[in-house]
Chains A and B, each alone.
Chain A
C-alpha cells in the first residue's frame, strides 16, 4: 500500500481559511468514508481531529472541517489561529482492511 499524497506545506495568515488535500486511490480514500485527520504539534503526540471524513471528536474546535470528493479528501481550517501551526496527517481505511497514512502537511502561519 502506498502512502496518501499530501502537500508538504500550506501557509496562511491569521483569520484566513486554508485547505489541505489528501489524495489516494479507489482502493483507499475513494473506497470508503473512513478518512481521518490528525494534528501534531512539534515534538508532541498526534491528536485525532476528524474521523469518517466529516466527524469531529468531542472537544475538537468547529473550525476544523473535512470533506471528500472521489479519491481526494480535504481538511479545512477556518479562522486560522496561531495554535493551528502544526503538522496534519490524513489516514484512510483500505480495501484490504488495513490503514494508510499520508506523509503529512506542515501548516505555517504567515
Chain B
C-alpha cells in the first residue's frame, strides 16, 4: 500500500516562501503523476500542480507565477514551493498520486495533509 507523507513548516510569514516535501513509501515514485492539492479551512479543494516522475510539470494558471514543483526520484520525494504567500494561502496542503501511470488528475493515494498557516 503506497503511503505519502507531507512535511514542512506549519507557520509561514506573509511574503515568505512556503516549502513542503512529500515522501512516498511502500511504492516507487516512477512512473506516476504526483500532485499538490490544497483546501482552505471550511472550503473546497484546489489543484495546485503536478509533476511526473520524468520531471514534466503542469500548474494551475492562477498560481503558476508563484509555484515551483520538483521531484527527487532517488529519495522518492517531490516538493512544492509557493513564493510570496499571503493569508489567502492558509490551507491544508495534500500531496497525492495519479490513479495509474497515465492518469494525471484522478488521485487515488493521498497524504494525510498538513495545515500551513500564513501569519505574522
State the A residues within 8 Å of B (CB).
1, 3, 34, 36, 38, 45-48, 51-52, 57, 89, 91, 93, 96-104
Contacts and interface: CB of A to CB of B under 8 A. Distances in A.
Given A1-B62, A48-B99, A103 B108 contact: no
Given A102-B44, A104-B45, A45 B105 contact: no
Contacts of A48: 99, 106-108
- Interface range, B side: 20 to 34
Interface of B: 37, 43-47, 58-62, 94, 99, 103-108, 110-113
A57 B58 contact: no
Contact of B58 (A46, A98, A104): A98
A94 B104 CA distance: 12
Contacts, number: 58
A99 B44 CA distance: 14
A57 B106 CA distance: 10
A101 B40 CA distance: 13
Given A51-B103, A89-B44, A103-B43, 10 more contacts: A38-B45, A48-B99, A89-B45, A91-B47, A97-B58, A98-B59, A99-B60, A101-B44, A101-B45, A104-B44
